[in-house]
Amino acid sequence: RSQVTLPDLDKVEWEAVKSQIAGVDRDQHLVMAFVEMGLFERSYLLLGIENALMAYLTEPDLMLDLVTAIADYKIELIKRLDDAIGMDMIWYGDDWGTQTNLFIPPDTWRAIIKPATQRIYDCLKARNIIINQHSCGKIEAIFGDMVEMGADIWNPCQPCNDLAALKRTFSGKICFCGGIDS
C-alpha cells in the first residue's frame, strides 16, 4: 500500500483565515464553512469513477482504508478551521446518489462510507457545529442512516426522492432544505 500525501495543514495561514472573519457580527450572521468533496467524491476523484466504483465492490478493505485516511485529514481540517473561525454550521458535501439510485449498494455505503462519515459528524457534534449535509441524487435508501448519524439539515432534497414520504417519516428529526425541481 502506498502512502497518500496530503496538503500540510501547518502551512495554512490560519491568522489570515481568522482576520477574514474578525469583522462578522456573530449576533446577526451565521458563520458557515464549506467542506466539499466528501469521502465518496474524493475517492472517485483520486481513483477515477470506474475504478472507484469497482473497488468499492471488489476491494472493500482497501476502500475503507482510503476513506478512513481522507476522514482523518478532514477531521483535522475541521478542527483547525473551527479553532480559527468558530463555525456555527458546516456545509458538508458528498454526493451519494444518481437521479435513479445510490452510486454504490446501501450495504456497501454502510460498511465503508458511513463509519468514516460518522467520525466526521462526531467531531462536528462535539464542537456544536450544525451539519448541513449536501448530497445530490436519490439517497432515500440511506436517508435514515444520515438522520441517525446526526445530520441536522439535508440539501438539496431533489424530487427524485419520495420527499413526501421522507417528510412523513423524518419530520422533526432533520431540516429539509430545497426540494425545487431542477
pLDDT exceeds cutoff 90 at 135: yes
Q: Is the dihedral of CA 173, 177, 41, 139 positive or negative?
A: positive
- Higher per-residue confidence, 9 vs 62: 62
pLDDT exceeds cutoff 60 at 1: no
How far is it, in rounded angstroms, from Cα 135 to Cα 22?
31
Tens digit of each residue's pLDDT (9 = 90 or more) over 35-46: 889 999 999 999
How far is it, in rounded angstroms, from Cα 34 to Cα 43?
18
Average pLDDT of the chain to the nearest whole number: 93
C-beta atoms surrounding 157 within 10 Å: 18
Which pLDDT score, from 0 to 100, does residue 9 have?
86
Which pLDDT score, from 0 to 100, does residue 45 have?
95
SS3 state at 15: helix
Which pLDDT score, from 0 to 100, does residue 181 have?
64
Give strand pairing partners of 133: 92, 154
Inter-CA distances, 138 with 51, 98, 103, Å: 22, 6, 9
Percent of the chain with pLDDT over 70: 95
Which pLDDT score, from 0 to 100, does residue 5 have?
58
How far is it, in rounded angstroms, from Cα 44 to Cα 51?
7
